[in-house]
Structure 1
Amino acid sequence: MTGILFLEQLLNGLGFGLMLFLLAAGLTLVFGIMDVLNLAHGSLFMSGAYVAAQAHQQSGSFVAAILLAVLVTVIVAALLEFLLMRQLYKRDHLAQVLATFGVILVADDLVKMIWGPSPVMAPTPAALSGPIEIIDGLPYPAYRLVILGAGVLVALALYLLVNHTRVGMRVRAGASDRPMAELMGVHVGRIFNGVFLLGAALAALAGALMGPIVAVQVGMGEQILIPALVVLVIGGIGSVRGAFVAALLVGLVDTIGRAFLPMLLRATLPPATAADLGPLFAEVAMYALMVVVLIFRPSGLFSARA
């Protein structure tokens, strides 16, 4: 294990954590503010990845592909919110889980109908396909650096929006005391609709950015939804700051665990066994982190409800 390798995996973990934050931020806003558990959020992530991959292949413009992916996903989310989610706002969480799980199944079948069951190739932008030497001896993919920068910028913009704007003040007021906010003239329903669409846009952006470095395939939304829910629990429901910190922690634990645990296990186990157990133990480490946090902070690191 060299210092260069560790630094490279540290950057990979931060990049994965920032993409998890984009997904988990939408979840924590919708669940923490609107009290709606939307398991179909992962399908919005998948939608962004597929639309961006298809648009990039046909147009050759990565920026246009991202914008189109976000636009299409927001339109889909608006239809979903109008046709289904409004019927679930006053239902219990069990009804929300069952209904949105059904949306996952429908979304997977729709993707199979449109793109087929095989994975779709999401090309890396030609201008970002090469490495950049960050320090002497550490060439790092330029595209991954763009992901890091985009994640940080979106996190900063979301923090400023929620905590330092009039819209954010209205969102927090509606979440804290909806009847009083409505009496003060705040259109809480419209605010909540906007929050839902903002969460969808963040999920689509994460999917579009992650497409070139992961497999764009049916079910990818469910695969990343589990770590996003772990981030939601660790960070604290409704806390954007908590989602950011938790996403970085989960991203680092998962990436570094998958990179180095197999190497450590090879010291005592056969190479094939170590290769199989390493990713499994890395996934267990993510849940162990959640357990440790909940032991000392049952409401999460920065729970807004607390």
Structure 2
Amino acid sequence: MTILILEQALNGLQFGLMLFLLAAGLTLVFGIMDMINLAHGSLYMVGAYLVASATAASGSFALGLLAGVVGAAAFGLLLEVVVLRRLYQRDHLSQVLGTFAILLMCNEAVRFVWGSQPIGASAPAALSGPVELLPGFFYPAYRLLIIGAGLAVAVLLWLLVTRTRLGMQVRAGASNREMAQAMGVNVQRLFSAVFGLGAALCAVAGGLMGPLLAVQVGMGESILILAFVVIVIGGIGSIRGALVGALLVGVVDTAGRTLIPLLFEQLMPLDLAASAGPAVASILIYVLMAAVLFWKPQGLFPAHG
């Protein structure tokens, strides 16, 4: 049981860090420009496809990841300049409808370019085996790479936001956009930079998760729902809140899907536990979100106020 708990804790940490990469860009876009972007999950999907294709073409996972991240960032900037700028001053309903249309178009464009079938994405051969972390406890080397990469990106993003002039402007824009504009911050250029950074982070998450999950059309929708749950729990516009919320959601979701069914098997007949366990486990993160909002309606670490 101890090994199972350790394994699920690491799985939750890995999943939470990947959620953080998605939620960081999404929460800043929402915090600075007050814009609901349902197309954010499409950047995750496009990034995963670009990384998988570049890796297959170059034969190097590192080069493929770099090329996919650059390509996704360029695609995100193009999308922001050509389409999304026209939605900034519109109401939230218009933003939801507009970005949902972009999501559908991205799905069809990916289907046209890569086809409807999932494409293969393989981890580096050197990381295909397990690593013994403790006596008798083995953990996949590639998942450790994901954890290390996620922690490294989180630290770099924290340094960017807290130790640079750009980060100061981002925090000011997320806290009070009108005051930041009055103080001379070019919010339009700031938002373009944040959107490009968010697209790059999506590509990092999609590229790293590709070998573990199927790279397929529509893969961004389910992860987008979890990203919104993360920013609601953490607080809109807050990088710290996105990190804490992502880790909470990752650990609760991963551990719940494994431990809740095991617990139910001890408490009720197996046929009932087989259906009730997964159902209860799937709603745990929403129960967590409801509990957080009950005690702190603005989230754990809101940027506003």
TM-score bracket, normalised by the shorter chain, equals over 0.9
Is the 8 Å Cα contact of residues 253 and 282 (structure 2) preserved in structure 1? yes
Counterparts of 1:182 and 1:17, CA distance in 2: 34
- Distance, in Å, in 2 between the alignment partners of 1:192 and 1:140 is 40
| Partner Cα distance (2:209, 2:141) in 1 | 14
1:242–1:303: 8 Å Cα contact kept in structure 2? yes
Asked whether the 8 Å contact 2:23–2:231 carries over to 1, the reply is yes
Q: Do the aligned partners of 1:133 and 1:140 also contact (CA within 8 Å) in 2?
A: yes
The 1-side partners of 2:207 and 2:274 are apart by 30
Q: Evaluate the alpha carbon distance shift between residue 66 and residue 273 of structure 1 in structure 2; reply closer, same or farther with a 3 A threshold.
A: farther
Per-residue displacement from partner, 1:92-144 (whole Å, max 9, x unpaired)? 11111110011111111111111111111110110111111011111100110
Query: Residues 125-168 of structure 1: CA distance to partner in whole angstroms, max 9, x if unpaired?
Result: 10111111011111100110111111111111111111221111
| Alpha-carbon separation, structure 1, partners of 2:12 and 2:176 | 38
Aligned match of 2:289: 290
Say whether residues 1:266 and 2:287 are aligned partners: no
Tell me how far apart the structure 1 counterparts of residues 51 and 261 of structure 2 sit (CA, whole Å): 34
Question: Does the 8 Å CA contact 2:230/2:245 hold for their aligned counterparts?
Answer: yes
Pick closer, same or farther for the CA change 1:230–1:184 going to 2, 3 Å: closer
Matches within 5 A, 1:150-299: 150-178=149-177, 180-269=179-268, 271=270, 273-299=272-298
The answer (yes or no) to whether the contact 2:51–2:207 under 8 Å persists in 1 is yes
TM-score by length of 1: 0.95
C-alpha distance in structure 1 between counterparts of 2:63 and 2:250, whole Å:
28
Aligned residues: 305
SS in 2 for 1:212: coil
The worse-fitting range, judged by mean Cα deviation, of 168-177 and 109-118 is 168-177
Give the structure 2 partner of residue 26 of structure 1.
Answer: 25
Q: How does the TM-score come out when normalised to structure 2?
A: 0.96
**SS state at 2:211 partner:** helix
Q: Which residue of 1 aligns with 2:108?
A: 109
Please say if residues 31 and 175 of structure 2, whose CA atoms lie closer than 8 Å, have aligned partners that are also in contact: no
List alignment gaps of at least 5 residues for structure 1. Answer: none
Letter in 2 for 1:261: I
Deviation at 1:185, TM superposition (A): 3.8
Partners in 2 of 1:3 and 1:142 — Cα distance?
20
CA distance in 2, matches of 1:175, 1:242: 13
Q: Give the distance between the partners of 1:289 and 1:60, measured in 2 at CA.
A: 42
Secondary structure in structure 2 of the residue aligned to 1:300: coil
Distance 2:79 2:19 in 1: 22
Residue matched to 2:37: 38
Residue type matched to 1:233 in 2?
V
Provide closer, same or farther for how the CA distance between residues 177 and 252 of structure 1 changes in structure 2, counting only shifts above 3 A: closer
Which AA in structure 2 matches 1:251? G
In structure 2, do the counterparts of structure 1 residues 229 and 184 end up closer, same or farther at CA, with 3 Å as the change threshold? closer
Structure 1 range deviating more: 39-48 or 72-81: 72-81
Matched, 1:94 2:67: no
Q: How does 1:4-23 map to 2 (within 5 A)?
A: 4-23=3-22
Would the aligned equivalents of 2:174 and 2:303 in 1 still touch at CA under 8 Å? no
RMSD over aligned Cα atoms = 1.5
Which residue identity does 1:22 align to in structure 2?
L
Contact persistence 1:174–1:188 (CA under 8 A): yes
Once residues 216 and 187 of structure 1 are traced to their aligned partners in structure 2, the CA distance between those partners, rounded to angstroms, is 37
CA contact (8 A) 1:257 1:278 kept: no
User: CA separation in 1, counterparts of 2:270 and 2:72?
Assistant: 43
The amino acid of 1:302's aligned partner reads F
Provide the residue aligned with 1:125 in structure 2: 124
Please report how far the alpha carbon of residue 272 of structure 1 lies from its aligned counterpart in structure 2 after TM superposition: 5.3
| Structure 1 residues 229 and 181, CA gap change in structure 2 (3 angstroms) | closer
What SS class does the counterpart of residue 11 from structure 1 fall into? helix
Residue ranges of structure 2 left out of the alignment (5+ in a row): none
Q: Distance in 2 between matches of 1:197 and 1:273?
A: 48
